[in-house]
Structure 1
C-alpha cells in the first residue's frame, strides 16, 4: 500500500491509524508548499488534488475517513465495528465533516496553515467567529462523551481518530478546548497512544521530498 500524505490534518488521521495498526505502508510525501498536489502525475491518482490518497494494488481510495476504514477492515481490526455501530461510525463521520471539523479546521488554518504558506497572521474577527461555532458543535460532542470512554462506547474506533483530529493543535490554534471537560478527557486518553501523538513517518528533509517527487513523476 502506498499512502500519499502531507503533515496536515486529514492525512494525520490516516498516518495515525496506519501506525496504530502496524500496517506495512510505503509513504509518499506530497509537498503542498510546492504545489505537488496539482501536478499531472498526482492528479492522475487523485483528480481532486487533495491529500491523503491511498493506492492499494489496483484500488485507489480518496478521502481520509474512507482510507482509515479501509485500513481497519484490511487489518480485521475492531477499529471498524462488526455490528450496528457501523452506522454510528458513519453518523459521526458525517457530523464531523459538516459541523465540528469545519470550525476546528478553520482555526487551524488561521494559526498554523497561514504562517506555513506566508499568508499573514490570524484574522482576529474570523478567529472569534469560528470559536463561537466551535463551541456550538463542541457542546454536542461533549454531551455524547459523557458516560462513554470513547466516542461509541467502551471500544476505540475509527470515529475517534476522525473526529478528534484537530485537537492536538487546540492550544496553538486557539480552540477553547478547556471549556469542554469530556472532550479534554477523551483527548487525554488518545494522547496515551503513541500513534496518535506521533503519527507521521520519520523522514529526512531530503529523502522524504525526493521520494514524493519520484512517486509523482513516475
Structure 2
C-alpha cells in the first residue's frame, strides 16, 4: 500500500494522479499546509514539505521522483523501457527545470497569492518566460503525439501536465499553442486525472 503524505491541493495531487494511473492501492495521509514541520512529518520528509511517499521500507520525497517510482512499479506503458525510459526522465526533468519555475511565477502572481500580494509585472514576466518553453512543447507535439513519447500515455505526460495544471485551470492563454492545449485537455480529462481532480477541486 502506497502512503502519500499531503493533501490534494498540494503537489500531492500529482502523486495521487500517478497512483490512479498505475492502478496501485494507496492511501492519502492528510498533511496540510502549516503542518509540514511537525516532527512526525519531518520523519518522512526532512525538508519540511509535502508530499512524501512511504512504500514499505522505502521513503521518498519530491513529487516527480515519487511519480517515477510509482510508474516503475506499474511498468509499461506508464514507465516504458529502453530509450523511452530515458525520454521519460528527460521530460520529467524538463518539467521541473524549464516549465515549473516560470509557470509558478505566473501562478503565484495570478491566482495563488491573495490579490493584495500579487505583482502583475511578475505575472507578465512569468508568462513571457514560459512562452518559449511552450513553443518547444508545441513543436514537439506537432511532430509526433498524441502523447509526449508518441502513441502511449506515460508518466512523462502525467508529470508535465501536472506541472502545467494550474495554468490550464486558471485561464492562461494557450491559444498560441493549440497542440499543447489539446494535449493538456486529453491528459487532464483522463479517468485517473478526473479522480485526482475531484479530490483537489471538490
Q: Does structure 2 retain, via aligned residues, the 8 Å contact 1:9–1:165?
A: no
Give the TM-score normalised by structure 2.
0.89
Return closer, same or farther for 1:202/1:177 CA change in 2, 3 Å cut-off: closer
Name the structure 1 match of 2:14: 13
Report the alpha carbon displacement of residue 175 of structure 1 after superposing the two structures with TM. Answer: 2.3
Report the alpha carbon displacement of residue 75 of structure 1 after superposing the two structures with TM. Answer: 2.4
- CA displacement, residues 174-196 of structure 1 (integer Å, 9 cap, x when unaligned): 42222201101111211331221
Name the structure 2 match of 1:157: 154
Distance 1:87 1:165 in 2: 19
Q: Does structure 1 retain, via aligned residues, the 8 Å contact 2:175–2:181?
A: yes
Distance 1:28 1:120 in 2: 33
Report the alpha carbon displacement of residue 121 of structure 1 after superposing the two structures with TM. Answer: 4.5
Segments of 5+ residues of structure 1 without an aligned counterpart are 204-218
The count of residues paired between Structure 1 and Structure 2 equals 199
Segments of 5+ residues of structure 2 without an aligned counterpart are none
Distance 1:27 1:175 in 2: 30
1:91 is aligned to 2:90: yes
Name the structure 2 match of 1:139: 135
Name the structure 2 match of 1:25: 26
Higher relative contact order (CA 8 A, sep 6+): 1
Q: Does structure 1 retain, via aligned residues, the 8 Å contact 2:4–2:27?
A: yes
Cα RMSD over matched residues? 2.2
159, 173, 176: which one pairs with 1:176? 173
Q: Does structure 2 retain, via aligned residues, the 8 Å contact 1:17–1:68?
A: yes
Name the structure 2 match of 1:43: 42
